[in-house]
Structure 1
Amino acid sequence: MRPENQRLADLLREDQDTILRGWTAEYHVYTGGRGLSQNLEAEQRAIIKALDTGLAADAEASNFDSPAWAALRETLAGVSSARAAQGETADVTSGFVLALKRPLFDGLQRHRGDVDGQIAVVWAASSIVDRMAQWTVSTYQKTREEIIVRQQHELLELSTPVIKLWDGVLAVPVIGTLDSSRAQIVMETLLERLVNTGAELAIIDITGVPTVDTLVAQHLMKTVTAIRLMGAESIISGIRPQIAQTIVHLGIDLQGIITKSTLADALATAMRMTGHTVTRAV
C-alpha cells in the first residue's frame, strides 16, 4: 500500500471520533448552522467507512472512477441524492464533504512524519476530498435534474385533464401552448381514458390555446387520427375566427374532422351524436 494511503487509513481508524467531531464543527461553521441533517453522524460514518475501504484497496486519488472507489462513490451518491430530495442547496451539500479536510489535516499534524512523507499524505488527503466533493455535486445536479423533469411531467399531466362529461363522452380542455411534449401527454392520457371508460366520443377544446400554427395543427391531427384508430370520434371546439383564418392561410386540411367555434356548440353536437336530447323543464 502507498505510504500516504496507509497513513490516512491509520488516521481514520485511530482518530475516527476526533475526526467526526472536527468534521461536524467545521461543517457548522461553513453553513452557519444551516443544512444540519438529522442523519449527519450516520452519513459521516458511512463516508469514512467507504473512504477506508478505498484506501485499503490502495486506490489512487487521481483515478476516482476506478472500481476501488466504487463503495465511496455509491455512498456519496446516496447522501447527495437524499439531500437534493430534501431541498438542500448544492453549495451546502458540497460544503458537507469539503468540511472533512480540516479535521484530516489537523489529525495529520498531530501525527507528523518526515517532511516528504507529510507533503505526500496532505496532498493525497486534499486530492481525495476534492474529488469526493466534485462527485457529490455532479450527483446532486443529476438528481435535481431528474426531480425537475419529473415535476414538469406531473405538471403537464395536471394541465391537461381528461374529463368524463357523461357516459360515452370525454372532454379535454387545452389551455396554453401545445408543444410536442404536451401534445404527447394529451394523446396518451386521452387514449388511456378512452380504453378505461369505453367512451365513443372525445371533445378537444382549444379555446385556451393562444395561437394555432402548423405544428399545433399537426399535433391535433395526430390526436384525432389516434382517436379514430381506437374506434371513437372526436370534435375540436374553440375554433375562433383568427384561428380559422390561420388554418386556411397555412393550407391545413381539417376535412373530415368535426369542428365547432365554442364548447357549447361541441356539447350540443355530442349530445345529438350520442342520442341525447335536452328539454326545458316546465
Structure 2
Amino acid sequence: MTGSLDVNKLLEFIQDKKENFEGSLLNEASNVKEKIEEILTVGNIDLINNAHKLVQYIIKGEQQELESFAKQEGIAWASHEIPLTLKLEWVQAIRRTLWKFLQAYNEERDKNLTEEFFSIEKQVNNQVDHFLNGLFLTYSQYKDSLIRAQKELVENLSVPIIPITSTISVLPLIGEVDLHRMHVLEEKVLVEIERLRIHSLILDLSGIMKMEPEVIAHLMRIIDGTSLMGCETVITGLRPEVVKNMINVGIRLNEEVPTLGTLQQALSKYIVN
C-alpha cells in the first residue's frame, strides 16, 4: 500500500485492538458467525486466523502472497460441502471492518480525510476484489475438476471389468443401462481388451431388468467389436424381459456368441474345465 500511511504502525494498531477487530468482523458477518466452529471442524478452515492473514497481505500490498492465498482458499472451499455464499459474506465483512479501522486509525492521529486517504480506500477495495476474483476462479476450476473426477469414477464403477485369469475377465452390468452408459462401456471394453489381453469376456446381464431396443442394438455392435479384436464374448443371465424385448423388435444375437443361463455356468465352463 503506497502513500505516507505507515503500514507497520497500521498493522500494530489493528493488532493492539485485535479483540475489537474480531468482534466487529463477526458482527458484520452474522450468518458466518454461527458457522465458525462448523467450518473449522468440517474443512479445517480457521476463518479468524485467515482474516488476519488477508488483512496483512492487503495492507502490505503483497500481491504474490495475496494471489497464492486466494488459490489456497479457493481449493479449500471447493474441497468441502461449505456454501460459497458464506465465504463471500466473510470477505465482504473483512472489507467493511478493515475500512472502519482505517478510519479509526486516521481519526486517532487527528488527520483529516484527504484525497490520498481515499486513494488508500480504493487500493484496499481493489485488493479485496482481486482476492475474490482469484478465489472464485480457483474454486470454479477445482470444483469442475472434482466433478470430472467423480464422474469418471462413477463411469468406471459402472463398467467393472474383473480379471479372473490372465486371459478371462467378467463384466457384470447392474442397474439401468442407457446409451450414455453404452458409449462408456464401448470405450472401456475395447481399451481393456487390449490392455489386459482378454481372450474371453463373460458379460453377465443378470442385473439388468430392462433394456431399450437402441441400447440392445448398441450392445450387439460392441460384441461384434470385441470379436474383431480377437476376444470371444459370452453372455450370461439374460432375463426374460430383455429377451422378449429383443424378439419384439427383431434383434438377434450373433450365432457365434455363446449364451449361458448363469454366471456360475460360464465360470465352470471356461475356468474349471
Match of 1:149 in 2: 148
Distance 2:271 2:74 in 1: 59
Match of 1:6 in 2: 2
Which residues in structure 2 correspond to 1:113-128 (within 5 Å)? 113-114=112-113, 121-122=120-121, 125-126=124-125, 128=127
How big is the alpha-carbon RMSD for the aligned residues of Structure 1 and Structure 2?
3.8
Distance 1:180 1:23, change over 3 A: farther
Distance 1:252 1:24, change over 3 A: farther
**SS of alignment partner, residue 71 of structure 2:** helix
| Aligned: 1:84 with 2:81 | no
Match of 1:182 in 2: 181
User: Alpha-carbon deviations, 1:202-259, whole Å to 9, x = none?
Assistant: 1112222232124422442343244224321102233323222323444445334526
Among residues 234, 248, 268, which one is paired with 2:265 in the alignment? 268
**SS of alignment partner, residue 211 of structure 1:** coil
> CA offset at residue 147 of structure 1?
1.7
Divergent runs of 4+, >6 A? none
One-letter amino acid of the counterpart of residue 213, structure 1: E
Distance 1:139 1:23 in 2: 28
One-letter amino acid of the counterpart of residue 144, structure 2: E
> CA offset at residue 173 of structure 1?
1.0
Distance 1:41 1:77 in 2: 18
Match of 2:88 in 1: 94
| Runs of at least 5 residues in structure 2 that lack an aligned partner in the other structure | none
Identity of aligned pairs, percent? 18
Kept after mapping to 2: 8 A contact 1:201/1:270: no
Distance 1:217 1:230, change over 3 A: same
User: Alpha-carbon deviations, 1:141-179, whole Å to 9, x = none?
Assistant: 442332233223223323432223455321111112224
> CA offset at residue 106 of structure 1?
1.9
TM-score by length of structure 1 reads: 0.68
Which residues in structure 2 correspond to 1:250-269 (within 5 Å)? 250-256=249-255, 258=257, 260=259, 262-264=261-263, 267-268=264-265
Q: How many residues align?
A: 256
One-letter amino acid of the counterpart of residue 232, structure 2: E
> CA offset at residue 15 of structure 1?
1.9
User: Alpha-carbon deviations, 1:11-36, whole Å to 9, x = none?
Assistant: 65542355474665455553223324
One-letter amino acid of the counterpart of residue 102, structure 1: R
Match of 1:104 in 2: 98
Distance 1:257 1:183, change over 3 A: farther
